Amino acid sequence: MARQASLSGFTELLPAERVVELHVLDSLRRTFELHGFSSLETRAVETVGSLLQKGEIDKEVYAVSRLQADEDERGGRTDPQQLALHFDLTVPFARYVVENAGYLSFPFRRYQIQKCWRGERPQEGRAREFTQADIDVVGDGELPFVYDVEMALIAAEALAALPIGDFVIRINNRKLAEGFYRGLGLDDPTAVLRAVDKLEKIGESGVVAELVATAGATEEQARAALALAAIRTPDTGFVEQVRALGVEHPLLEQGLSELAEVIGLASRRAPGRVVADLSIARGLDYYTGTVYETVMVGHESLGSICSGGRYDALAVKGDRRFPGVGLSVGVTRLLARVLAQKLAVATRPVPTAVLVSLADEDGWAAADDVATGLRARGIPTEVAATAAKFGKQIKYADRRGIPFVWFTSVDDDGTVRHEVKDIRSGEQVPADPETWTPPADDLLPRVVPGD
């Protein structure tokens, strides 16, 4: 991952790194399906009007047009029908739900693992082309609040199965924050949320300055907003700490109640993995309730590797609403750190477990018969391309990371003998092509903790 990319922000992995990525994707897929989520894939492009209706991200959207398109077809940033690559999977999913509502059963549970694109400055954990793994539950008209709790528990289970070490899921509630800001007398809570969302990037003084400049806050109001953001507890103790700040508003009370329910249940099922963190805001406008961010312990500078929240009005069709709650795992972001610091490595870069050697150039068909029999029993096998000296064939297997080499010989009386060599230990033993199987740990590449 430290290699210099030929095109900045577009990651290309080596085979051994790809093994780790596939392990992560397969693990996430397995967890999501265990919880009853159906897989789907949406198109890579959406209209600019669809993408930009929620959140301030227009500078990062990649527009799409034909090289030979005329000016009318190209449109522009002000043309809502201009095509653009999606920058996340939530907005396309909302469009998908609206268009297919008549064919879906609600609450609808889906997972989606796809590439996304954002035109931002590349750095570790931030690429222009990246993979996200999303889960969402969407209701028709209403969605029980218990799904907010379930999301936190699924995130804890899914991330615990990945080779990323310890992590913490930080949870807040937009109603709590908005109610608090309104109770302070600030009438533009969205501007406050956006400023607070930058706390880790620009610090307290930067947030105060932005609140004064963009949200019309006094310095006293800005300091009160920061006092709220400073509250962080592993249990429901945050409730009394918020009330001690002396701010009152009905929306604040609703948010406190919802967050207390999520933290109370999730911390019981996933102790040490979940905290109430009232600095979490999430920058996109469509979140309306619970919001989540997740950091790897010891790697907080990487940013959130799993984020999301509740949205009540992202998907709307006439007077029909489809509220939802979801999470997005930043696969490319977490892999960047896993691979760079060798938190996990592949036991070999290729799926091949056995190389069937050639004693002479006429023996390829017989060797392929052996390989076919091994493959039929689920053993990944290659056949040597030429009858080079056995030492060279063994070196080829070693270079490729193939652990076993198969030898076939014929005695003077016509007896066919088969032997297999573990080139790591040097042990060579007789083997029956109809029954021999490598040790379970060698059948396929595995992902193991790094050094």
User: Could you give the 3-state DSSP secondary structure of residue 406?
Assistant: strand
CA–CA gap between residue 397 and residue 418 (Å, rounded): 18
92 — pLDDT class (breaks 50, 70, 90): very high
pLDDT tens digits for range 1-42: 556 667 889 999 999 999 999 999 999 999 999 999 999 999
pLDDT at site 261: 95
Greater model confidence, 339 or 68: 339
pLDDT at site 125: 80
Q: Taking the complete model, does pTM exceed 0.75, yes or no?
A: yes
Greater model confidence, 190 or 345: 345
Handedness of CA 47, 48, 53, 56 (dihedral sign): positive
Closest CA to 248 of 163, 182, 151: 182
Q: Tell me the helix, strand and coil percentages in the chain, rounded to 5.
A: 40, 20, 40
Q: 15-40+95-112+121-346: which CATH number, 3.30.930.10, 3.40.50.80, 3.40.50.2300, 3.40.50.300? A: 3.30.930.10
For the beta carbon of residue 127, count every other beta carbon within 10 angstroms.
22
CB 134 within 8 A of CB 317: no
CA–CA gap between residue 133 and residue 326 (Å, rounded): 11
CA–CA gap between residue 228 and residue 237 (Å, rounded): 13
DSSP 211: H
Give the residue extent of every domain in the chain.
15-40+95-112+121-346, 354-445
pLDDT at site 55: 54
CA–CA gap between residue 284 and residue 87 (Å, rounded): 12
> What type of residue is 52?
L
pLDDT tens digits for range 385-410: 999 999 999 999 999 999 999 999 98
pLDDT at site 5: 66
As a CATH number, domain 354-445 is 3.40.50.800
pLDDT tens digits for range 235-293: 999 999 999 999 999 999 999 999 999 999 999 989 999 999 999 877 667 789 999 99
Instruction: Give 4's contacts (C-beta < 8 A, 6+ positions apart).
Output: none
Greater model confidence, 71 or 205: 205
CA–CA gap between residue 256 and residue 242 (Å, rounded): 9
